[in-house]
Amino acid sequence: MTSYILMIAFLILTVSLKAKPESINTLAIGAQAPTFTLPGVDGKNHQLKDFSNSKALVIIFTCNHCPDARAARGKVIALHKDYKDKSVAVIAISGNDDKALRLDEIGYSVHGDSLYDMKHVAREEKYTFPYLYDGETQKTTKAYGAVATPHVFVFDADRKLRYTGRIDDARRSRKDIGTNYVRNALDSILTGKEVTEKTTRAFGCSTKWSWKRGSVAKDNARWKAIPVTLEDLDERSAKALADNKTDKLRLINFWSTTCGPCVAEFPELIDTYRRFQNRPVELITVSTDPIVARMKVLKFLKEQQAALSPRTAKSVAKEGRKSNNYVYTGQNLDKLAEAIDTKWNGALPHSVLLAPNGKIIWRHTGQINAIKLRRAIVGWLDKAHGE
């Protein structure tokens, strides 16, 4: 059975690596809206005909992870609120294949692009319009020719396309900037006028087509090939880590190979680090195992692929450091706690987020909740970089 599963996995990987890009053509102005039947975050299937009584229909191809799409969430919510009583239906569709999304492409979001993640976003943002998933087949996304997120399509009562392109000129800003093309198009349709600006470019992250799964496989292979290292940590070097004289957000995790929750949460830590590796974020692991267990610690770290991203490695080298993984060499663990987090009561695992200059902005004792951790990271990054 094991060999059969491995063979199937190999065939899937081979097919994904050989998949080639397709030509995608955006729906032409005047074209009829392609029909669809898609699952929504509400657990129901939705069809184009479900909205046949509306005088106008807005379909927005979007996603969870893209910063442009994230910035547009409030605008989509406001659009639905302002036009729902004017017989305008608003639908959001995610056409991204979440398995074609590399981890380092999710560095601007708490959530990925799976239907499961979409449910989280819809609940957190309090969406009152349908949010549908097309990532499995992408037939609808291809039929409409949605090339970026967000990409908007506005149809009249006969479901003829009257406008396609971007919402406004704001790109990644949450503010309304420049011309509001979608509202202008809707106002023209509802008053029986011709839409003056029918097409614009849809700026945003490219649609994650299924043929990009090969990129994910290659990225995972590259990561697996990065050497995993382990260095000793004394009280003095621990204090230097806590001071964080860098511009990076520093996640420090205290753990042990004999701690069940520590072992259980480790994949989530690596997943989180890989998501944010292209941003000013680093993961530092500190083992509290006895120094005689050093080889056991290193073996576990290698199994978990707890590598140092090449991007992070450059900044680490500037600090005079060689690794992101450490084993504490001191006898008194109180000294380690006092050096990094005086509020740590000694229970494992324990994690802290340190902003530049060493301020602790988040801490947690016990197995982490990955979503809460990512939310703390994204929240700091958004505020620090004005996003």
Quick check: 327 and 292 in contact, CB under 8 A? Answer: no
Kind of pairing, strands 161-165 and 249-255?
A: unpaired
> How much is the pLDDT for 19?
63
Residues of the chain with pLDDT > 70, as a percent, come to 95
User: 22-213: which CATH topology?
Assistant: Glutaredoxin (3.40.30)
Q: pTM of this prediction? A: 0.89
> How much is the pLDDT for 172?
85
Domain boundaries, the chain: 22-213, 222-384
Q: Which CATH number is associated with domain 222-384?
A: 3.40.30.10
Query: Each residue of 195-228: b (16+ CB within 10 Å) or e?
Result: beebebebbbbebbbbbbbbbbbeeeeebeeeeb
> How much is the pLDDT for 18?
54
Phi and psi torsions of 23, nearest 5°: -85, 125
Same CATH topology for 22-213 and 222-384: the answer is: yes
Count CB neighbours of 288 within 10 A. 21
Q: Residues of the chain whose pLDDT is less than 70?
A: 1-19, 386-387
Count CB neighbours of 311 within 10 A. 14
CA 242, 246, 252, 257 torsion-angle sign: negative
Q: Which whole-number Å values give the CA distances from 194 to 82, 185, 258, 362, in the listed order?
A: 21, 8, 70, 53
> How much is the pLDDT for 171?
83
